[in-house]
Amino acid sequence: MKILANDGISQSGIEVLTEAGFEVITTNVAQEQLANYINENNITVLLVRSATTARKELIDSCPKLKVIGRGGVGMDNIDVEYAREKGLSVINTPAASSSSVAELVFAHLYGGVRFLYDSNRNMPLEGETHFNGLKKAYAKGIELRGKTMGIIGFGRIGQEVAKIALGVGMKVVAADKYIEEANVSVVLFDGQSLNIVIKTLSVEEVLKQSDFISLHVPAQKDYVIGSKEFDMMKKGAAIVNAARGGVIDEVALVDALDNNKLSFACLDTFENEPKPELKLLMHSKISLTPHIGAATLEAQDRIGTELGQQIISILG
């Protein structure tokens, strides 16, 4: 049977599937040509990430498809229920990239509190001529230790963020409408662990208490954070979105930065991907990455292997 990994798959995933007798194709087919390619090449399994969509039209056009897999967590680019109604198996890898996303959150936060996102822009331009001026401009950083980390969405990734925050010495508060409390286990290098029970609060309470907010919620119809929510936050707080574009009202975000309600923001996802708004890209208080939360070598290996194992269990 043939598998099309249209957005790529790790070598570890290819090896798992090849050893089980599957043919893995990693050709990247344009979205408008995808249905024809699947049918002409007798593809049984379609694997996607965020770049490729699998909507009703594609599903209806490809009767030989048996499995659609998403390398990662969110499946908002797949019509999941419709596919399952048609008898397809729809799979993803919700746990494989959790640590990678959490580490990116803190890469942004550490860069934010020490102005790295801005100094890395200005040092190449002015480091030789205005070194002392830049040194003075970036000399008012703060530490994360002792501050309050607010997490909205307390599933796998949110809990991974909590583990790092606890290790840093931060207080953690969290909100999740489906989880009342979570037992967060911080595993040390030698295998010892520290278990902490965190009871969730309302979103409003988390916004009011937190020095830093990190979002870990799926894409949804309405904004999770807009003008009303920014008004609830502490003056000088900061926010990170490494979840999905569209959960933050980006116009309200820019307003909150411009009026100094927020000290900085960190964005890995955007409403208009792959063409984020220029106001965001050029803003001096925004730390930016191009939707790379799950893009570590370790996560890609785990994703590929996990997808392979699930496909084998379904079709093997």
Q: Which residues are catalytic?
A: 244, 273, 291
Could you say which DSSP state residue 290 is in? S
What are the structure tokens assigned to 39, written together? 């049918």
- Is residue 276 within 8 A of residue 270, CB to CB? The reply is yes
Q: Other CB atoms closer than 10 Å to residue 75's CB: what's the count? A: 20
Q: What's the distance, CA 155 to chain centroid?
A: 12
Give the integer Cα–Cα distance in Å for 126 and 133: 9
Tell me which residue of 245, 243, 237, 110 sits closest to 165, measured CA to CA. Answer: 110
What are the structure tokens assigned to 123, written together? 């040092």
What are the structure tokens assigned to 90, written together? 């729809």
Q: At what angle do helices 156-168 and 98-113 cross, to 10 degrees?
A: 40
List the alpha helices (DSSP H) in 114-197: 116-126, 131-137, 156-168
- Is residue 8 within 8 A of residue 29, CB to CB? The reply is no
Tell me the CA distances in angstroms from 172 to 79, 98, 145, 146, 151, one per residue in order.
Answer: 35, 18, 11, 10, 8
Tell me the CA distances in angstroms from 164 to 99, 198, 252, 293, one per residue in order.
Answer: 9, 14, 29, 15
**Helix (H/G/I), strand (E/B), else coil: 213:** strand
Q: Write out the H or E segment, with its range, that includes residue 181.
A: strand 181-187
- Is residue 304 within 8 A of residue 5, CB to CB? The reply is no
